[in-house]
Amino acid sequence: MKRQYGFTLLEVLVALTIFATVAATLLTATASSARNAARLEEKTLAGWIADNHLGELLLQRPSPAPGRKQRDVSYAGRDWQVQEEIHSTSDATLRRVTLWVAPNNPQDNSDIQARASLVVSGFIGVHE
């Protein structure tokens, strides 16, 4: 009798189980990495928008009055919403500025403060 060489059905099933487990783990890790990269990109762009907006407020003459404003911005091929809230401080020469930056999603009607990707606070000098 000739001896046959090869894998048994049990060995093939064990190998397929190991391969499926490794493949599922790699797919999960890849999907998680892609989500993290997209979130990081969103936060980075929101940070640049907030920095630009704060810079505009710093250069504005006369300085912006206390209050709340919201505007739409197009940046990096995307639509964003920026909400600014300006408050007086105990120092008459300073105003506190808080900015909320969020992607503009027409399907999401929630408040910008609830869906903001980034919240930035700072101070601007008062120039009349």
What pairs with residue 118 in β-bridges?
101
Categorize the per-residue pLDDT at 119 as very low, low, confident or very high, splitting at 50, 70 and 90. very high
The full set of domain ranges for the chain reads 9-125
Q: Select 9-125's CATH number: 3.30.1300.30, 2.60.260.20, 3.40.50.720, 3.30.70.3420.
A: 3.30.1300.30
pLDDT recorded at residue 106: 81
Distances (CA, A) of 80 to 44, 46, 103, 116, 121: 13, 8, 4, 10, 18
Residue, of 86 and 8, whose pLDDT is higher: 86
Helix residue ranges, H only, 1-128: 9-59, 112-115
Q: In angstroms, rounded to a whole number, what is the distance separating the alpha carbons of residues 79 and 127?
A: 31
At 39-57, the pLDDT tens digits run 999 999 999 999 999 999 9
Residues 6+ apart with CB under 8 A from 76: 45
Are 117 and 73 a contacting pair, CB within 8 Å?
no
Categorize the per-residue pLDDT at 5 as very low, low, confident or very high, splitting at 50, 70 and 90. confident
At 53-96, the pLDDT tens digits run 999 999 999 999 999 999 999 999 999 999 999 999 999 999 99
pLDDT recorded at residue 116: 93
The four Cα atoms 32, 34, 40, 43 give a dihedral, to 10 degrees, of -100
Q: In angstroms, rounded to a whole number, what is the distance separating the alpha carbons of residues 118 and 8?
A: 57
Percent of the chain predicted with pLDDT > 70: 98
Across the range 27-40, mean pLDDT stands at 93
